[in-house]
């Protein structure tokens, strides 16, 4: 899967020796064939990598909608333990699927085009889509975007530029809503707390707006 979203807390996926042997044996067998066959195989691997991320994102999104936390524990924490992906990586997969794929209600043609984009590029799109900032013209540009950099540029045009330098202010929110901030390599300082326990939709939307528009990242 492309780096979506690769997070520093993602665990290493350990391969069993039998799996490794099979992968290497298959690769060597394919590489020894004629060039067109090898190129076709590489193309199929590339397609599998692209379809894997959106299959996982789709399943994670649907699973999160019917998750029984009382029975199985907190969704993102359980996924982190089960699959070695940090809670933030899974959260991004779910949010991309909801706000970039499901909520806009795309045509099948546009959906196919969007799902061909790198997931880390679609992460740039998520906040603008969630906040209703994308009209037909913006979606057409997204549909035509050839790479991650172009998707980022479209979002900069829509939302304005947000720069991160080595001394930029970094704001983090804990699971319980506590906000901390720091500059450079200094220790985080307590800022305050957002009332994340509130289920009032206005409060939930306000908190999401604060997080998304301020460059706050979740721990």
Distance separating alpha carbons of residues 150 and 117, to the nearest angstrom:
11
- pLDDT for 48-78, tens place per residue? 777 888 888 899 899 999 999 899 888 888 8
Residue 191 lies in a domain: yes
Look at residue 53 and tell me if it is in a domain.
Answer: no
CA dihedral over 163, 169, 174, 178, signed as positive or negative? negative
User: Residue 60: inside a domain, yes or no?
Assistant: no
Compute φ and ψ for 187, nearest 5 degrees. -70, 150
Residue 55 covered by a domain: no
Report DSSP state, residue 217.
E
Which domain range does residue 178 map to?
169-218
Domain membership flag for residue 90: no
In order along its 219 residues, the chain shows pLDDT tens digits of 444 555 544 444 565 778 777 877 888 888 888 888 888 878 887 777 778 888 888 998 999 999 998 998 888 888 888 877 777 888 888 999 999 999 999 999 999 999 889 888 998 899 889 888 899 999 999 999 999 899 989 988 887 654 444 566 778 888 888 999 888 778 889 999 998 888 787 888 788 778 766 777 776
Domain count, the chain: 1
Q: What is the pLDDT of residues 73-104, one digit of tens each?
A: 888 888 888 877 777 888 888 999 999 999 99
Cβ–Cβ under 8 Å, residues 139 and 104? yes
pTM passes above 0.85: no
Residue 117 lies in a domain: no
In a domain, 93, yes or no: no
Structural domain includes residue 63: no
Q: Dihedral of the CA atoms 204, 75, 95, 217 (nearest 10)? A: 70
Residues ≥6 apart with Cβ < 8 Å to 39 = none
């Amino acid at each position: 899967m492309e780096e979506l979203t690769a997070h520093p807390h993602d665990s290493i996926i350990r391969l069993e020796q039998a799996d490794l042997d099979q992968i290497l044996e298959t690769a060597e067998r394919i590489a020894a064939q004629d060039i067109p066959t090898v190129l076709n195989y590489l193309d199929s691997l590339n397609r599998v990598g692209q379809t894997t991320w959106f299959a996982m994102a789709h399943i994670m999104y649907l699973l999160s909608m019917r998750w029984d936390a009382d029975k199985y524990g907190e969704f993102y924490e359980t996924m982190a333990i089960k699959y070695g992906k940090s809670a933030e990586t899974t959260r991004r997969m779910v949010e991309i699927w909801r706000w970039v794929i499901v909520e806009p209600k795309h045509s099948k043609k546009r959906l196919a085009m969007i799902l061909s984009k790198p997931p880390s590029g679609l992460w740039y799109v998520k906040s603008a889509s969630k906040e209703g900032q994308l009209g037909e013209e913006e979606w057409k540009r997204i549909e035509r975007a050839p790479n991650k950099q172009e998707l980022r540029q479209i979002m900069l045009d829509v939302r304005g530029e947000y720069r991160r330098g080595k001394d930029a202010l970094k704001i983090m929110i804990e699971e319980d809503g506590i906000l901390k901030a720091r500059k450079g390599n200094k220790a985080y300082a307590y800022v305050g707390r957002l009332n994340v326990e509130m289920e009032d939709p206005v409060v939930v939307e306000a908190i999401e707006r604060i997080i998304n528009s301020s460059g706050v990242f979740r721990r």
